[in-house]
């Protein structure tokens, strides 16, 4: 795997504000949304400069938590967008909802992780038309460093969390098909303060 620079001068932010901050003892990239960012499940990410990705493995450590003034529905949404085309009109994404990981309601726990495909297959459409197929439970602690690994091959993707041997989510039908190629972005959503470190990418 190749370590990828996620310093401020190697990012192209879209509807997010990047900075460098310390979190849980580590220096990290911090992202928050711009005040006018449109949500949910939109291109709210910092795209990494100079990367074109189709198939391979993306691995990163993330920590997400709701901001103090976030709406009640905020979950600390944080993850990775991939195969982002240049005009941002299409991409795939997998993210975590950290506050759901240990929620007292089972339904929220079942929605701790999510796959969506921009622009046509956002979480709400998936939840209505194919409930339970693109979100799943995994134990998460709000604000804690969490390892994510995304394996992509053709029209399939798998999300692994916490170095688990088995995937948390298996997607056998990426909505843009097997041939989309594009960038990688560090993703957040509504009311999130997100931290990122140790990004590696291994194309296949």
- CA–CA dist 52, 187 (Å, integer): 17
**pLDDT at 23 > cutoff 90:** yes
Per-residue pLDDT at 1: 84
Count of positions (residues) in the chain: 204
CATH H-level superfamily of 2-203: Exo-inulinase; domain 1 (2.60.120.560)
What are the boundaries of each domain within the chain? 2-203
Phi, psi dihedrals of residue 136, rounded to the nearest 5°: -160, 160
Q: State the pTM of this model.
A: 0.97
- From 143, 82, 94, 88, select the one nearest 119 (Cα to Cα): 88
Q: Tell me, what DSSP letter sits at residue 100?
A: G
List residues bridging with 66 in a β-sheet: 192
How confident is the model over 172-187, as pLDDT tens digits? 999 999 999 999 999 9
**What is the C-alpha to C-alpha distance for residues 47 and 86, in angstroms, rounded to an integer?**
10
Q: What rounded mean pLDDT belongs to the chain?
A: 97
Q: In Å, what is the CA distance from 184 to each residue of 7, 111, 158?
A: 14, 23, 16
For the chain, how big is the Rg over CA atoms in Å?
15
pLDDT in tens, 134-166: 999 999 999 999 999 999 999 999 999 999 999
φ and ψ of 73, to 5 deg: -80, -5
The model's pLDDT over 91-135, given as tens digits with 9 standing for 90+, comes to 999 999 999 999 999 999 999 999 999 999 999 999 999 999 999
Specify the pLDDT at position 21: 98
Q: pLDDT (tens digit, 9 = 90+) per residue, 45-87?
A: 999 999 999 999 999 999 999 999 999 999 999 999 999 999 9
């Amino acid at each position: 795997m190749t370590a990828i620079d996620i310093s401020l001068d190697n990012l192209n932010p879209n509807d997010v504000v990047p900075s460098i901050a310390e979190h849980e003892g580590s220096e990290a990239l911090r992202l928050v949304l711009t005040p006018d960012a449109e949500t949910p499940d939109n291109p709210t990410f910092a795209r990494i400069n100079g990367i074109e990705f189709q198939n391979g493995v993306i691995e990163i450590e993330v920590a997400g938590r709701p901001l103090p003034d976030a709406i009640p529905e905020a979950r600390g949404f944080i993850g990775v967008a991939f195969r982002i085309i240049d005009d941002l009109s299409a991409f795939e994404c997998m993210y975590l909802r950290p506050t759901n990981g240990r929620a007292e309601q089972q339904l929220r726990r079942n929605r701790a992780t999510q796959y969506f495909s921009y622009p046509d297959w956002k979480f709400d459409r998936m939840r209505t038309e194919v409930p339970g197929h693109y979100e799943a439970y995994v134990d998460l602690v709000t604000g804690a460093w969490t390892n994510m690994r995304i394996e992509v091959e053709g029209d399939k993707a798998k999300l692994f969390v916490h170095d688990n041997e088995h995937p948390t989510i298996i997607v056998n039908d990426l909505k843009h098909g097997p041939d989309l190629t594009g960038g990688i972005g560090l993703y957040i959503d509504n009311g999130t303060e997100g931290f990122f470190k140790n990004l590696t990418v291994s194309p296949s």
